[in-house]
Structure 1
Amino acid sequence: MELETERLKVIPCTEETVEIAINQKYDSGPQISTHLKKLNEDPSLLYWGPWFVVRKSDGSILGDIGFKGKPDKNRVVEAGYGFLESYWGNGYATEAMEVLIQWAFKTSKVDRVIAETLQDNYGSIRVLQKLGMKKISSTETMIHWEIGNSD
């Protein structure tokens, strides 16, 4: 399964899709290898981990987005994302996260999506605001956000 927007394909992270990232020399960070190990132990984690964001026009991986595990007993899932700096400011994060959050709500397993960002990460704050997420709390360093299925 993959999700699509006008400009992007969003594909779940698997052993096969990691090969695409390796071939593009995309530095996916430790969350990808950790997810793959957990996925081997529990295949039901497939869509509840990282997804690669691929630009349709040229097949380039722009970043990765996803969830930090399956929804909890309260039907809440935490989302996160990271994009290569050269692609910042083009709306890709908002576009990709929007389709992923919509998918999560359509699964009927999620009532709320939460996220967090650093107080001074203005680009990320703007993405979360554009997604319709609401600030629910903050600390000296972090802001915590959420969006509900009915928002």
Structure 2
Amino acid sequence: MKIQTQRLDLMPCTAENYSDFAAQYEMGPHINMHVAELEDKPELLGWGVWMVVRRDNGKTIGDAGFKGPPDSAGVVEIGYGIAPEAQNQGFATEAVRGLIDWAFHTGKVERVIAECTHSNAASIKVLEKLGMHRTGSDEELLFWSLKKGFQENL
């Protein structure tokens, strides 16, 4: 399973490919938890962490993915992180756009949601570029949503 965008390959992180990615990218605890969870629930493949790999040099530059499968209303939450040396080059937008498109084409997703802190200007810019709309906030976070069929720029 792989998603190809103009400059990136997105591949689900699994126990089989974990060490390859870990050799060139710092694996956060969310990745370790997802890989362990996949061992017991292989049906979660695709609904967790995807590694973001540059096609021109094969370097893993980030991770993006879903925080679990869609709920009964077809809602799935997305998150992402790009290594500092690869930021401000459009990779986050490109990776998340590819994942959102994939999710909507599964037939299981009607809405993608996201959250970021008020101070995370880079994430706010990414979410706005993806056509997501702010749906609310609390003291710490801004909440975002994109309904199927309303993708601007996808």
TM band (smaller chain): over 0.9
Residues 1:23 and 2:29 aligned together: no
Equivalences for residues 1-151 of structure 1 within 5 A: 1-24=1-24, 26-151=25-150
Shift of 1:101: 0.2
List per-residue Cα deviations over 1:5-35 (Å, max 9, x = no partner).
11100000111221211222x1120011100
Q: Distance in 1 between matches of 2:72 and 2:7?
A: 34
User: Which deviates further from its counterpart, 11-20 or 97-106?
Assistant: 11-20
Residues 61-103 of structure 1, C-alpha deviations (whole Å, 9 max, x = no match)? 0100000000001110000001111111000000010010000
Aligned residues between the structures = 150
CA distance in 1, matches of 2:3, 2:17: 14
* Counterpart-to-counterpart distance in 2, 1:74 and 1:106: 16
C-alpha separation in 2, matches of 1:75 and 1:139: 24
Moved over 3 A (4+): none
The letter for the 2-side match of 1:100 is L
Q: Which AA in structure 1 matches 2:8?
A: L
Query: Which structure is higher in helix share?
Result: 1
Q: How far, CA to CA, are the matches of 1:7 and 1:16 in structure 2?
A: 24
- Computed over aligned residues only, the root mean square deviation of the Cα atoms, in angstroms, reads 0.7
| TM-score, normalisation: structure 2 | 0.95
Q: Which amino acid aligns with 1:4?
A: Q
CA distance in 2, matches of 1:66, 1:109: 15
Q: 1:4 and 1:22 mapped to 2: Cα distance?
A: 21
The residue type paired with residue 8 of structure 1 is: L
Give, in whole Å, the separation in 2 of the partners of 1:23 and 1:29. Answer: 13
Identity of aligned residues (%): 46
Compute the TM-score of the two structures, normalised by the length of structure 1.
Answer: 0.97
Q: Deviations over 1:113-143 (max 9, x none)?
A: 0000000000000000000000000112110
Structure 2, unaligned stretches of length 5 or more?
Answer: none
CA distance in structure 2 between the aligned counterparts of 1:20 and 1:112, rounded to whole angstroms: 32
Q: Secondary structure at the match of 1:69?
A: coil
Distance 2:23 2:72 in 1: 38
Hey, what's the Cα distance between the residues in 2 that align with 1:97 and 1:22? 21
Q: C-alpha separation between the residues in 1 aligned to 2:140 and 2:133?
A: 17
TM-superposed CA distance for 1:36, in Å, is: 1.1
